[in-house]
Structure 1
Amino acid sequence: MADGMQPIDDKAQETGVRPLTSALKTLDLLDHLGRSSQPVRLALLARELGVARATIYQRLVTLIAAGWVEQTPEGHFRLTLRAARLAQAATEQAGLGIRTLPVLEALTAETGEAASLAAMEGDEPCILQRVEPKGVLRIEMRVGATMSLTESASGRVLLAFAEPERRHRLASGVDPALLEQVRLTGHAISSGRSIDGVLAAAVPVFDHRGVCIAALSLVAPVQRFAPDGWIVPLRAAAARLGDILKGRSA
């Protein structure tokens, strides 16, 4: 590491320090809440996580005390805006925050469609930045939302350009010819099965090492889907994003 400190994973192995199991379980609940678009009832959380209601409630109380979760007047539980602030900080620290916004805005202005920037969060594609067009039918997908790795255009790009070992692990059941086609053409089209009536096209965004770290996509209702006119502006915008990641001007 640049400051000479040993990576935590290596140091933990040497010293025998183990992660706090209770903290991991509480963070798992936080992550689960983040996957829902609506406030969630205690009973549903317990059922979905397979944990006793009393245990889930104790973890919720902990998260409420820490300012991460709040309870609605109806008794449901939801994330506070602290999670949004953390998400913004994470994208900024990864170099994929506000500096990428003008590129997506320009792409949306040029094509008239919604533009999204996604990257892998664990084993799922997660939307890091999104710009919606004005005055047209909108496809509601929020920053922080996850997508199908095998059905979405962004997921297919991120999977096709992943490191071989990771691709092999995640691509179980996926036609290898499909991923090879994505690598050969440099873009992917969604299956149309994730969201009815909606299609998307995506291209990879490469960092200074030539590693695909994100996928840039355009999404629209089927009746407006026009990939032949999208690929060129998508690639140009992806190149500008790559320049930002390399420390150049957009």
Structure 2
Amino acid sequence: MTTTKKEPRSRLLTSVLRALALLDVLADVETSVGASDLAGRVDADRSSVFQQLQTLVHAGWVEQLPDATYRLTLKAFTVANGAMTQAGLGARLTPWLDRLATRAGETASLVMIDGTQAIVVARREPSVAMKANIDIGTSLSMRTSASARILLAVAEPGVVEDLRHAGVETPSDRELAQYRTQGWSEQCDELYPGMHSVAIALRTTQGADAALSLAGPTGRIDRHAVLDHLRAAAAEAPDGMVPPLPRDT
């Protein structure tokens, strides 16, 4: 009689998940935070949160200030740079976005999908007033963001359905087909009141999709001029980034 060996079930480390949750909270606040405040935000007792914070301090992820509050260190940038490199985005990304923002006179951003979120991974501003205030790390709406719209339009089959099954609101299949056909998407006052943005898609040699966008105040954005700037920037994109091949679906 032959027995089938079962694969061991994955066992999640709750302590690690809780420590990572603290990093998420610290990333969402603009100032340093005390242990009691953090405990309330993650619904945990203060003593456990304090131990997790001390562990993160020892690991170099968190800094404890003289007033006994905590804030993130810049170690996250090291990890972020590694993620960008693995996604096929090199060190020339910043000057490339700088040139685009300067030429267009609007805020240039690069957005990628991470799980169920569209995340701003890079952003550069022009030296003009009325910039689009969207920080690196901001999670954008899959339904109303121009960048998320074009990313979903060029995504591999199944990605949109998986997001919908997870409860994420997305554009309709008809809308996505339109974005895919025209090669760009836009939003005007839908993501944020008073903001107009236009986006196109690029793909890295590692197969990751990224949306390149320009955003500015409603009424100042000229879609045709912005598209010209975006397409010119795409032609000058860092090595390893090209427009994705169109799909027939």
Decide: shared fold, TM above 0.5. yes
1:215 is the counterpart of 2:211? yes
CA distance in 2, matches of 1:93, 1:77: 30
1:187 is the counterpart of 2:180? no
Aligned-partner SS, 2:19: helix
Aligned-partner SS, 1:63: helix
1:178 is the counterpart of 2:175? yes
Aligned pair in 2 of structure 1 residues 88, 190: CA closer, same or farther (>3 Å)? same
Which residue of structure 2 lines up, in the alignment, with residue 198 of structure 1?
195
Once the two structures are TM-superposed, the CA of residue 173 in structure 1 deviates from its matched residue by 3.8
Aligned pair in 2 of structure 1 residues 52, 195: CA closer, same or farther (>3 Å)? farther
Once the two structures are TM-superposed, the CA of residue 54 in structure 1 deviates from its matched residue by 2.7
CA contact (8 A) 2:188 2:195 kept: no
Once the two structures are TM-superposed, the CA of residue 127 in structure 1 deviates from its matched residue by 2.0
Which residue of structure 1 lines up, in the alignment, with residue 247 of structure 2?
none
Which residue of structure 2 lines up, in the alignment, with residue 6 of structure 1?
none
1:27 is the counterpart of 2:27? no
Paired residues, number:
233
Once the two structures are TM-superposed, the CA of residue 229 in structure 1 deviates from its matched residue by 1.3
Which residue of structure 2 lines up, in the alignment, with residue 3 of structure 1?
none
Aligned pair in 2 of structure 1 residues 204, 20: CA closer, same or farther (>3 Å)? same
Which residue of structure 2 lines up, in the alignment, with residue 148 of structure 1?
141
Amino acid at match of 1:240: E
1:245 is the counterpart of 2:245? no
CA distance in 1, matches of 2:192, 2:35: 28
Aligned pairs for 1:29-178 (under 5 A) are: 29-73=22-66, 75-171=68-164, 172-176=168-172, 177-178=174-175
Amino acid at match of 1:204: A
Aligned pair in 2 of structure 1 residues 165, 186: CA closer, same or farther (>3 Å)? same
CA distance in 2, matches of 1:155, 1:34: 22
Aligned pair in 2 of structure 1 residues 118, 61: CA closer, same or farther (>3 Å)? same
CA distance in 2, matches of 1:239, 1:212: 18
Amino acid at match of 2:111: A
Q: Which moved more, 1:90-99 or 1:63-72?
A: 90-99
> CA RMSD of the aligned region, Å?
2.8
Q: Which moved more, 1:213-222 or 1:73-82?
A: 73-82
CA distance in 1, matches of 2:153, 2:40: 35
Aligned pair in 2 of structure 1 residues 212, 63: CA closer, same or farther (>3 Å)? closer
CA contact (8 A) 2:142 2:169 kept: no
Aligned-partner SS, 2:141: coil
Once the two structures are TM-superposed, the CA of residue 212 in structure 1 deviates from its matched residue by 5.6
Once the two structures are superposed, residues 86-145 of structure 1 have per-residue CA deviations (whole angstroms, 9 ceiling, x without a partner) of 222322343214222232122122211111111122321222222110133222333333
CA distance in 2, matches of 1:14, 1:63: 32
Larger radius of gyration: 2
Amino acid at match of 2:217: P
What percentage of residue pairs aligned between the two structures are identical?
Answer: 36
CA contact (8 A) 1:201 1:217 kept: yes
Which residue of structure 2 lines up, in the alignment, with residue 9 of structure 1?
none
